[in-house]
């Protein structure tokens, strides 16, 4: 039993799954706020989203305020 537990735990006892989940949250959140130009919504709404840029407008002010390049 201790064997099987060891496989999923990095050497200082942090579960790999937790680190991976947090890493995904980090990348996704950074992309949405810092860099997305409507690409996520475009998967659902098609080309229109590029014009409307819903997420972009919602994250626009924070993007400037947090120092990310914008328009």
Residues forming the site for Zn ion (CB under 5 A): 70-71
**What is the nearest approach in angstroms of another protein to the Cβ of residue 68?**
7
Measured distance CA(32)–CA(60) in Å, rounded: 10
Task: Quote the DSSP letter at residue 28.
Answer: H
Pick 48 or 70: Cβ nearer another protein? 70
Cα angle 19, 28, 31 (rounded to 5 degrees) comes to: 135
Contacted by 16, from Zn ion, another protein, none: CB < 5 to 8 Å by type:
none
**What is the nearest approach in angstroms of another protein to the Cβ of residue 55?**
9
């Amino acid at each position: 039993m201790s064997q099987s537990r060891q496989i999923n735990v990095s050497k200082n006892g942090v579960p790999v799954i937790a680190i991976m989940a947090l890493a995904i949250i980090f990348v996704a959140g950074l992309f949405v706020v810092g860099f997305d130009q409507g690409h996520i919504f475009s998967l659902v709404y098609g080309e229109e989203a590029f014009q409307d840029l819903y997420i972009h407008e919602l994250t626009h002010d924070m993007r400037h305020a947090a120092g990310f390049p914008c328009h």
